[in-house]
Structure 1
């Protein structure tokens, strides 16, 4: 009785408090959307939303409560959303209600000067759906009106996967249970990785819910998850707020680290760099206007449909003219809006996405749309278009570049790029240091364990050196000279920290590549270069460091000669060590670590 009375007061006096939780773009830390949640009167028996909606369902007023929550959420957010989307939770049972079909949300949006394109209906996988055919028909109807659909709690049960199989949502939200402690849960990480792969192949954006720790963010970014949501990024609050700058910085920093390896292998070009801006049209543009436009073009173009600068559809020129070529095609479409024929869920890519990642998503589309142009956006607004022909041309060039200039085993820049980078450093006034990296006793290991095991050592060393770059804000260049020789260009102030870290990590990891017998002995018995049997210690790492400040008259040949002398001295220490010298050959510092 008390709860029923409280519910009536809430509905009568609109005693609902909307709260908004940010959904964050894991590429740049910007807020992509807000999820609107509802709270009952503070300290009342119906403050909690689960209790509030359960009583409303019991009293048969679910529609009234749902509409009140939805309208208040939109009303409070209308002037603060900007280009962000608004996620609205909708009970599946409500969507069957005739009142929901009557366009009440559309009318309210119109009053608030918002478009359906800014609204995402979020359907929970935990919701019981009895008639999938009717329910999917309702969802498809809303998608046709430019509303977006998100399936919530994917991974918590069977129904969400069933929904995904029958509709084409724009978003899926991974269940909290899979995200929690994902950095410690290998199985959960594997499931999320599989979901991400599926979603990207299907052109569905994926959102991770329940993020509470920075370590979880690290793994989600590594797995390529598009968006994140959770208390770590921002709690639900009555006011629409941006995320904290330190969290945004953390996300940006992680992405820079992730991209560093790609940059080192000459794959740093983004899709935005090859995009071409073209004329766009509204969804209400008549077919004849499009016909005239396409006929005036020297080359066939796909038509991009936008609303308030935000892409909402694409019309493939071949499909369009095929439709016009049917018996009543001209009569049907020449004087009707182009939205009747446009594809409402085209491939839309952020301008900062790599060429390689874009190509993967483009080629994973269904066969009918494989050759559709790719729409490029910046801050969610139309930025340009890339045709498949252009994408293939650039991809081919990049692959040839990578093959030509990168080491085939590690993927790191090879000698040509090393030479170019060194020449660039010698032309700039800033001092820098060159670290020549050499693995001691590698040849013996390679002879005993075989070439494949030797290759694994080189790959592991490349990754370790890459991690050193990450730990130092990527402020150095890493290249692979060949064999067990690597090179690093680094700011002089970073020398000691980087060298100490490399030695510590190498000495920690290298025993894992030996058999238990060799680990216990700490040596291998093998023949030396003279054919005599000898004991060889486990591999160590030598770092010959050359500080370059006065660059007058210096060439790569002079530097290589000086580096060889430092490397020779470093190897006499017989354990992992680094030796630092200036070009004047004065020994500045020697350090080593016990094996």
Structure 2
């Protein structure tokens, strides 16, 4: 009966979307085989079970490959095509020829999903086969990570482009700290190995939000779209993601905040003892009165007090206010990661703190475990180092865009300063590239010294262009400090003859020689209002346009203040 279904082509492919919830874009679709409705072979489990009994599993796999690619190309699907396949069949010559022919005759980029539900019989043969297929243009994913015992070995040997986490670890992850910890480690490992993590089986908005907090944005599941014959309606995707008022970014504290046991200062001390005894993972308990943080009880000190002579008898019925500590580290949830790092650095007893107490607009909203924060700070610094400008070691374009995205997402007012050195090319031509690089490094250091004391972000776009980003209203007095410091120190980079004439003779872009002034800088200033709907591309473009206008201004400054009504493309770069 199954053989007849294969011969007549009554088995068909449906596709489940895989989306990027950060950008609201479709990454691709996973192909799934189906049989006629209400038949014995309607669902894949029955189809593959029957194929195993009949000994035609390999033929069925090839049929599924042809069906997946053929139907995908005939429809309006876009993006990568993910196809499940038994990894042991990849070493088979017939299957290899089938795949090679499909790739040759198809314009669809194909990702082969290797599930560890099928024990790998020969890892060396599989590695050889995947290398051959990768040379043909195929990409690979490990499916159902965590469902079996061989996934880490597969990951190390195959080096897949995608990692799909098993549904078990995704289900109710927002309620389970053990699952969150496991998934967080997978995300960290994947980032270091340059693999994209895809979360499977998303069924609730709470799961989606928690995964975004962890740093996973590639997702698949019934919440996003069920397997279907037609592509996902992008308007439905936009509507779903529109429910997300806050997509937490990698360098945001939001991603690390956890719920925990909370008590009031009037609570009995005996209750605190019960909490610690019942939960060995509980390291600290915030004390909160009327949503205000009033103290913290740390396990070590508390249990030591309770174990002292007559400790329990003396304190059991007393209020928590007698034993709570008031030296907890408190930070706002919208503070940047660097500020949290600075807060930890200021305290020598960082690890003894156990947790940071998090508030939003002055009201308690959760805790962050210090080890989790330290790990995220390390990851963030590694990421910044990876994208840092090699000359100045300041963060490059990727971290700059992430910073702008973070401020847009927080929906608070912020500003962007775009700096550019004036007449740098003629200086570089006369004094040489080495001296030019020295000037750029000096200017970068100066920007860092002036602005980072205010917790502003300083980045290097490239060449002699720099970006400064900060919260709320910009302290314009800092520009005076910078200008005075610049004019005083720039003279040390010129020969006396040029300082006396206040010019240098150099070849202009038209090929003719002319006198150019001593180096100075221009700055474009964008003040972005709260609740703006810009993209980082629009903000960067506006800042760059203002920088060009600043170069034509004798004062070297051009600025504008946006409103939440601005865009498209910020009202054509504010005219």
- TM interval, short-chain normalised: 0.3 to 0.5
Q: Give the alignment's TM-score, normalised by structure 1.
A: 0.45
